[in-house]
Amino acid sequence: MKKLLFLLLITLPSFLNAQQLPIPSAVFEWKMLPAYAEVGTEIRPIVDGPTETLDNFRVNHYKLSQGKSISIKKGDEKLILIGSGKLQINQGGNINQLESRSVAWVPNDKTVKIQHLGDETTSFFVIELEADKVGEDFKPDVNSLTSYDYQKLPFKKSAKGGRRDVARGPTPTLQELEMHITTLNEGEKSHDPHQHADEEIIVVLQGEVEEMVNGVPYLLGPGSLIYLHAMDSHGIRNAGKGACEYYAIRWITKNTGK
């Protein structure tokens, strides 16, 4: 029954996109995601469809072997989140080299070329967020939006584990984008189930977590993704051995009324 549920969640995005219905809260277990292989490249489509506040929300996972690259056209704001390995990210001549657990923000007016570096296979997520601009009178200073090197992010230790704050602020199409990385010690939970008006995704980087969504528990391993609809109850805990680590990415747009 559990496998059937995961399969339904995997096929849900394409169905919803065809019907133009907002994506509900859903979990995408890494082991259940189908992969499509090309020469030196592996692609795992995860989700593609509108949400309550986004015209479209798309997440694909890629693996590149030595010497391979992909190019993604301009059009949507993007986040490139590296799961493992090393990448060179070229945004119109602005080049950065980033390693595991780092993330890069790409504006909607830039084509980006993503190039494999090093000897090991590189895996990464491309997260695309499409939304109407928040208005001509909204002109945020986006100079601070850039690439974020995991190794340079300060770690704030806590009794439960710790946290790395990545970025928080407006973008050209979002009133606020907030990203952080949470580390939880074995057996710890981040917080009790709660609700908020932001939409959120969680990407599991390390370990095994249990995500509670509207009272239903889901067990998820590394590479898994969780999409949380605004105001749906959710909470997460470390359900495996040793520490777990995950990205939490939240956003609000003009459509939230905030």
- Distance (Å, whole) CA 193 – CA 201: 15
Q: Does domain 2-139+153-256 have CATH number 3.40.140.10?
A: no
pLDDT (average), residues 135-163: 85
Output the pLDDT for position 135.
57
- 10 Å Cβ neighbour count for 154? 8
Which residue is associated with the tokens 């590149």? 64
Residue 142 has pLDDT above 90, yes or no: no
Phi then psi for 92, rounded to 5 degrees?
55, 40
More confident of the two residues 179 and 169: 179
Residue 109 banded pLDDT, cuts 50, 70, 90: confident
Residue 12 banded pLDDT, cuts 50, 70, 90: low
Output the pLDDT for position 129.
94
Q: How many residues does the chain have?
A: 258
Tell me the whole-structure pTM to 2 decimals: 0.88
Specify the pairing of strand 94-99 against strand 86-91. antiparallel
Output the pLDDT for position 10.
47
